[in-house]
Structure 1
Amino acid sequence: MYGAGVNRVVVVTGASSGIGRSTARLAARGGDHLVLGARTREDLVECAEECREAGAASVLVVPTDVRDDASVAGLVRSTLDRHGRIDAVLHCAGVVAYGRTEEVCAEDFETTLDTNLLGSAAVARHVVPVLRRQARGDLVLVGSLLGHLAVPEMTPYVVSKWGVRALARQLRIENRDLRQVRITHVSPGSVDTPIYDNALDAAGGVNAPPPPTISADRAAAVVLRAAGSRRLEHQTSWSNHVLLAAFRLLPGVYDRLVGPAFELASRRSHRV
């Protein structure tokens, strides 16, 4: 299981906040060499300092926009230039959008899919060849519980996260020939992170993670354990399994209840 030893080279995307930042700090405690990617340099520099204080062997900051293929290529190239290898990539970057399908503007819909799904594909496009040349290494794609479920007023996000889960499955099949190249998918449920405050919101509400929530640190622990695991899928809490069972076994009941429950649980204020 990934987590023992030191001096591994670990790339974390979305490292400026939320699960990504918590994952980077947790990896630092194990003495890893960290390469941190996110769009905002200032936030990355803050995270880098936290990682150094936590015990990272080294920290490299590479401002990266996962929506830009060349930017992702630069992140991988910078890692190889510094360390000559990649042991694990923990892809945590993501964005949330709220609103009925017909209400979300084209730009917000595209931004959500570009960041969550096409960003994951870009990371895979540049990371997998490196792992295959090495004949070893881990790619962990952080999806969402909503990559397994349907909920109202989050269509771009749900579609993108179903796509991330499908991408992970495709990558697993395509890389079966190399046993030490591992592709893993993590499905966080409700996690208390700034992603809700920064949501693209056509529904006119102020958003909050629906209960029961877990901390970003707890989700990060699952992400870090997923690297090195041969399991394809990892959930972050027991409540995920309850909702998955309801969605799969009682679809009619789920569809009737999910709308009112979601509105009550995840909106601190309603449309204006």
Structure 2
Amino acid sequence: MREKFMEPVVVITGASSGIGRATALEFARRGAAVTLAARREQPLRELAAACEQAGGKALVVPADVTNEAAVMEVARRATEAFGRIDVWVNNAAVTLFGLFEQTPSEPYRRVIETNLFGTIHGARAALAQFRRQGSGVLINVASMAARLPEPYVSAYVASKHAIRGLSQSLRQELRLLRARDIHVSTVLPATVDTPLFQHAGNYAGRTPRAMPPIVSPERVARAIVRLARKPRREIFVGSAGPQLALLSLLAPGLAERLLARSVDRLHLLNDRTAYATNGNLFAPLPEGTTVTGGWKQKPRGNRRLLRAAVLGLAALAPAALGLLWLRPRLLA
């Protein structure tokens, strides 16, 4: 991979906005040939021009990742155009807000089909090509929610947990197959400033917004490029993820209470009524084709969330260390 990285061949799903768009531009600046896949063709055309202007090559292949044949076609055309695929980034995702019991089944199912089965379809296409050529890096974009509980977005949380588990299983299988030059990495970003929230399906009766702490799409894109160069099992992007994940490990009940209250207060607005909508779940929306979603950082909320996590960790650290010290002695 290292000798190819100066001009890698990269496939990115969900490339029309947000993290996917930022990642395409980041790779293009390094001379990559990027294959851009998403449902919206016109934003992909505009992105392809920007990638070529940045110094890369670009191929546009419109596709809905819920259609396995369409994803296989993305792989076929990328290989036909550039001769190989070095990196495949499974990034396409949608989300849905609402209490579990008040969310209709079809929108709920659509989140799972897009996020999880879209990743499965991409993994099948990528790994088949990687096995033929003997190398490659599959990067699955999950979320901090793959390690942490959140209310109101249970379909999204379930799909991201599943993506992380899928990545773990694939790594084990590749090890058994002795495919040492094929890697699977998982990215776990915190809340990212993208149009995802404007595109969201919503049955919560409240308007969703990006919940602090918010990281930039460019930061996630740089992390993805680093993984392509030097693969790792999984990485968090943003400081809140590792802190809250550790808190969840040491005190799951406390973590659930903290995140339930934080999401209720910071992720959904109480001052306006939101009409029920499927957002972009079943058809793409014309708006929201930029890298960012225009969400401004909320320092006060940011500090409140991080302070609670840090204080929780500080209080639990001595007890956790004591348990780790005692455990082997108790089992002896």
TM-score when scaled to structure 1? 0.95
Distance 2:271 2:74 in 1: 40
After TM superposition, list the pairs within 5 Å mapping 1:137-176 onto structure 2.
Answer: 137-176=136-175
Aligned residue for 1:180? 181
AA of the residue aligned to 1:86: I
Aligned residue for 2:242? 241
AA of the residue aligned to 2:47: C
Work out whether residues 2 and 227 of structure 1, in 8 Å CA contact, stay in contact via their aligned partners in 2: no
Structure-2 change in CA distance of 1:215 and 1:230 (3 Å)? closer
After TM superposition, list the pairs within 5 Å mapping 1:91-102 onto structure 2.
Answer: 91-102=90-101
In structure 2, the gaps of 5 or more residues are 274-332
Work out whether residues 2 and 224 of structure 1, in 8 Å CA contact, stay in contact via their aligned partners in 2: no
Aligned residue for 2:251? 250
Distance 1:265 1:2 in 2: 42
Offset, 1:270:
5.7
Aligned residue for 1:232? 233
Work out whether residues 203 and 271 of structure 1, in 8 Å CA contact, stay in contact via their aligned partners in 2: no
Aligned residue for 1:78? 77
Structure-2 change in CA distance of 1:130 and 1:5 (3 Å)? closer
AA of the residue aligned to 1:80: T
Aligned residue for 1:119? 118
AA of the residue aligned to 1:261: S
Work out whether residues 90 and 141 of structure 1, in 8 Å CA contact, stay in contact via their aligned partners in 2: yes
Work out whether residues 137 and 231 of structure 2, in 8 Å CA contact, stay in contact via their aligned partners in 1: no
Offset, 1:161:
0.3
Q: State the structure with more CA Rg.
A: 2
Work out whether residues 99 and 201 of structure 1, in 8 Å CA contact, stay in contact via their aligned partners in 2: yes
Aligned residue for 2:318? none
Same amino acid, percent of matched pairs? 35
Aligned residue for 2:42? 42
TM-align CA RMSD: 1.6
Work out whether residues 170 and 184 of structure 2, in 8 Å CA contact, stay in contact via their aligned partners in 1: yes
Q: Which has the higher helix share?
A: 2
Structure-2 change in CA distance of 1:141 and 1:270 (3 Å)? farther
Work out whether residues 207 and 269 of structure 1, in 8 Å CA contact, stay in contact via their aligned partners in 2: no
Q: Aligned with 2:101: secondary structure?
A: coil
AA of the residue aligned to 2:143: S
Distance 1:62 1:218 in 2: 25
Offset, 1:260:
1.8
Structure-2 change in CA distance of 1:53 and 1:257 (3 Å)? same
Deviations 1:88-144 (A, max 9, x none): 111111011111111111111111000100110011111101101111011100000
Distance 1:122 1:66 in 2: 7
**Number of aligned pairs?**
271
Offset, 1:271:
7.1
Deviations 1:14-38 (A, max 9, x none): 1100000000000000001111000
Offset, 1:268:
3.0
